[in-house]
Amino acid sequence: MTRFILCAAFLAATAGSATAQNVINSNTTIRSALCVGFNCLDSESYGNDIIRLKSANNRIHVDDTSNSGFPDRDWRIVFNDTTGTSSANEYFGIEDATSGNMLLRLIGGARDNALVIDSGGDLGLGTIAPSRDIHVKTGDSPTIRLDQDGSGTFAAQSWDIGGNEQSFFVRDNTVTGGQPFRIKPGAPSGSIFIDPEGDVSFGINGNTTSSLHLRRTDGTANVLIEEVNSTVLNRGLLTLRNNGGVFMALENTDSGVNWNFQNNSSDFRITTPPGGPGEIEFRLNTAGDLFISGDLTTGGAGACNAGCDRVFDADYDLPSIDEQRDMMFAQRHLPNVGPTPEGDAINVTQKVGGLINELEKAHIYIAELHDRLNLLEARLAAMPE
């Protein structure tokens, strides 16, 4: 092993000219302070210093002369650069003298406790008492920067990971300058959890068997997908894709009645689980044909606006048979049913309401004609033969 020998100490302990080489071949003990350098005074005041380097350029060099095959890297302790007036040139450094790389650089004027390693090996940056393996402490937004400088084969990119009273954040310094990831203080435990299978849960601490699971206990659970682009355009905001039938389940844990929205073969179906032939309540095929398993009830705006049962009210303005006939042939449709052009879509709710009105009027006309026929038959019967 190389012994660390302060050659300059030997020079100071021996007499001779500035260029003389003085060699001491025995162990040397200095029981007082030592000053090494061109600017040491004959009456140097050491204070509490034991060794002092005093020169325009101060360096300590360790030259390992081990034989080949053994560790022989050389090291140097550097105090300030030899040129330049920038504050960055004033530093304490440890240099790999073999490669010339400065491995450690402590620039003068750094804040108190800028770098601390405690007895447990914890690293403190800005704190004398680190409480974690790495503890960063500062008055405003302690931050760690990850800086890919572009010197390799990949483009430059810089990220910040930090936190303050507003949020824990990840900042994209290179592209947007924004914070694509933020966590507000007070977020509950398990707000975001990824389990070993890659399942992601929100608010469950990973206790899920679903690929994505959101759970709340305060009645606020909901999902919003919102596109706020100002351009008016149809956009797909939710897609469910599967190699085969796919469905979305609506489960009511109170009533126990559940529904499925299904894409099954060529049909869109609404079913009660498990969705077999006996549970298909609604089916729409690609031809536009609609099938339901129960009654169809409609309450649209045009359901009975035509009057429906009001034709039997005394104050209803019922046209005479002749008036109804004239309107029907003039308009070429039943007045309260409205026109029905060939090939056009129809409002079933409005048409059914209008048909009920016209059908009830027709039965009133039939009743009137029946009464008139009975009267004529009675008169005919009363006439002498």
pLDDT, tens digit (0-9, with 9 covering 90-100), for 238-267: 999 999 999 999 999 999 999 999 999 889
CA distance linking residue 109 with residue 105, whole number of Å:
12
Q: Where are the domains of the chain?
A: 141-186, 188-217, 243-296, 308-382
Q: How far is CA 181 from CA 160, 184, 211, 338, 360, in A?
A: 11, 10, 21, 59, 67
pLDDT, tens digit (0-9, with 9 covering 90-100), for 35-50: 999 999 999 999 999 9
DSSP letter at 82? S
Residues 94, 102 contacting (CB under 8 angstroms): yes
* Residue 7's pLDDT band (cuts 50, 70, 90): very low
CA distance linking residue 108 with residue 178, whole number of Å:
33
pLDDT, tens digit (0-9, with 9 covering 90-100), for 104-141: 999 999 999 999 999 999 999 999 999 999 999 999 99
Q: What is the pLDDT of residue 144?
A: 97
Instruction: With a cut of 60, say whether residue 18 has pLDDT above it.
Output: no
Instruction: With a cut of 70, say whether residue 334 has pLDDT above it.
Output: yes
Instruction: With a cut of 60, say whether residue 12 has pLDDT above it.
Output: no
pLDDT, tens digit (0-9, with 9 covering 90-100), for 80-112: 998 888 888 999 999 999 999 999 999 999 999
Q: How far is CA 35 from CA 9, 38, 90, 185, in A?
A: 8, 9, 21, 55
Whether pTM > 0.85 for this model: the answer is no
Q: What is the pLDDT of residue 290?
A: 94
